[in-house]
Chain A
């Protein structure tokens, strides 16, 4: 069964450093998403991406964040200058024409 994959599973970085989180969505899916979950809190929507552009973004997704689909398979989330409060689990999700989103296993980011 096809699944969404994410790398790395864990990343530790210093405050102010750039990080890139990578996702490989399910191959025939058209919509791509990033969510985050701060420890102990609910999962929050960050951004959606369709047809090579951002469809929607939340207020969390400020200028420090960017997304890219550099080739036909990868979908990345970049945080330019990480802050302590960016520490969270980041989930990638994808969906096809149907409304169901399928989530990856997540990347746990720790900013020191």
Chain B
């Protein structure tokens, strides 16, 4: 069965420091991969996505993610974190060729940014 693992429940970084949030998936083929961000009391905003092609994808707000097939990973990175990046980050997997293509989410990583 497909699954998405975000091993870090909570990460704290200093403003200006670099960030990497981990995501691993389990699926028999290459899925569609997404990162969403959820600010407190808000909905889910799409940060970036990977469908095919270049394995390094750029998203909004200065985020990027790299798909590594050999590691079944899709880690999210940002070179310099801003205080406004404090939020919950969700990695999600969509299954290719399943029609409606519902998403499977990881448990999320809460990011705290300290001055």
Classify the interface of chain A: helix, strand, loop or mixed: strand
Which stretch in A11-19, A43-51, A73-81 binds the other chain?
A43-51
A101–B100 Cα gap in the complex (Å)?
Answer: 11
Contact check, B34 vs A48: say whether CB atoms are below 8 A apart: no
Give residues of chain A (77-112) contacting chain B, Cβ–Cβ below 8 Å.
91, 93, 95, 99-106
A100–B51 Cα gap in the complex (Å)?
Answer: 10
Give residues of chain A (1-52) contacting chain B, Cβ–Cβ below 8 Å.
4, 6, 31, 33, 35, 41-45, 48-50
Contact check, A104 vs B43: say whether CB atoms are below 8 A apart: yes
A102–B102 Cα gap in the complex (Å)?
Answer: 12
For the complex, is A56 an interface residue (Cβ under 8 Å from B)? yes
Contact check, A101 vs B42: say whether CB atoms are below 8 A apart: no
- Give, as a whole number of angstroms, the nearest-CB distance from B76 to chain A: 16
For the complex, is A55 an interface residue (Cβ under 8 Å from B)? yes
For the complex, is B11 an interface residue (Cβ under 8 Å from A)? no
- Which residues from chain A contact B94 at a C-beta distance below 8 Å? 99, 101
For the complex, is B63 an interface residue (Cβ under 8 Å from A)? no
- Which residues from chain B contact A35 at a C-beta distance below 8 Å? 103, 105
Give residues of chain A (39-71) contacting chain B, Cβ–Cβ below 8 Å.
41-45, 48-50, 55-56, 58
Contact check, B49 vs A56: say whether CB atoms are below 8 A apart: no
Contact check, B36 vs A48: say whether CB atoms are below 8 A apart: no
For the complex, is B114 an interface residue (Cβ under 8 Å from A)? no
Contact check, B43 vs A56: say whether CB atoms are below 8 A apart: no
Query: Which partner residue on chain A sits nearest B45 by CB separation?
Result: A103
For the complex, is B101 an interface residue (Cβ under 8 Å from A)? yes
State the A residues within 8 Å of B (CB). 4, 6, 31, 33, 35, 41-45, 48-50, 55-56, 58, 91, 93, 95, 99-106
Given known contacts A31-B100, A56-B98, A104-B43, what 6 new A-B pairs fall within 8 Å (CB)? A31-B101, A43-B92, A43-B105, A48-B101, A56-B100, A100-B34
